[in-house]
Amino acid sequence: MRTVHVLQSPPASVNVVGEKITVLAGGDLSKPFEMHIQEGIQGGGPPPHFHPWDEAFYVVDGQVEVTVEGTSTNVSAGGYVHIPAGSIHAYKNVSPTAKMIGVVSDPRGGLFFTAMDRFKVPEDLPRIFEVAERFGVTFLVPEPPIS
């Protein structure tokens, strides 16, 4: 039997490379999913990446460009996108601010966000890649131009 989970007030937010993320329910294998609130500024969002869990976003405020397997879609407030596990994806906040509710099917999502708190680019890139590998997240880094 699954455990009943009741959240009375949200925990503290973390800063994941400029995105404010509040893990509302996560890090517990007894839950079938976890929820986050993700807030960012224009141009913010992760680079192309993939991981072994499903992910979904419901845009609460603003507009977000979501790219999945090379196809980009602008999603405005009230819009929803589901991303299957293993799909290469990224998102970018198009409006001055954006707010989404994120749902993932694995507790590693929230644990990953918490482990990434306060890292900066480019100075923390080695640590970012180490944490990503530990949680099953693979970032796709563009090849440097050939001279």
- DSSP assigned state of 96: S
- What pLDDT does residue 31 have? 63
- pLDDT tens, 66-125? 999 999 999 999 999 999 999 999 999 999 999 999 999 888 888 899 999 999 999 999
Domain extent at residue 118: 14-138
Q: What is the pTM of this model?
A: 0.87
pLDDT, tens digit, 9 for 90 and up, residues 13-61: 999 999 999 988 776 655 668 889 999 999 999 999 999 999 999 999 9
- Inside any domain, residue 55: yes
Average pLDDT over residues 59-66: 98
Of 81 and 3, which is predicted with more confidence? 81
Q: Look up the CATH number of the domain holding residue 52.
A: 2.60.120.10
pLDDT score recorded for residue 144: 67
Whether residue 43 lies inside any domain: the answer is yes
Count of structural domains, the chain: 1
Q: Does the residue 72 lie in any domain?
A: yes
Is 124 contained in some domain?
A: yes
Alpha helices in 35-145 (DSSP H): 108-115, 125-134
Q: What is the pLDDT of residue 2?
A: 65
pLDDT for residue 143 = 67
Residue 1 within a domain: no
Any residues with CB less than 8 A from the CB of 46 and at least 6 apart, and which? Answer: 17, 19, 90, 91, 139
Q: Could you tell me if 45 and 90 are in contact, meaning their C-beta atoms sit under 8 angstroms apart?
A: yes
> Is 65 contained in some domain?
yes
Q: What is the predicted pLDDT for the residue at 141?
A: 79
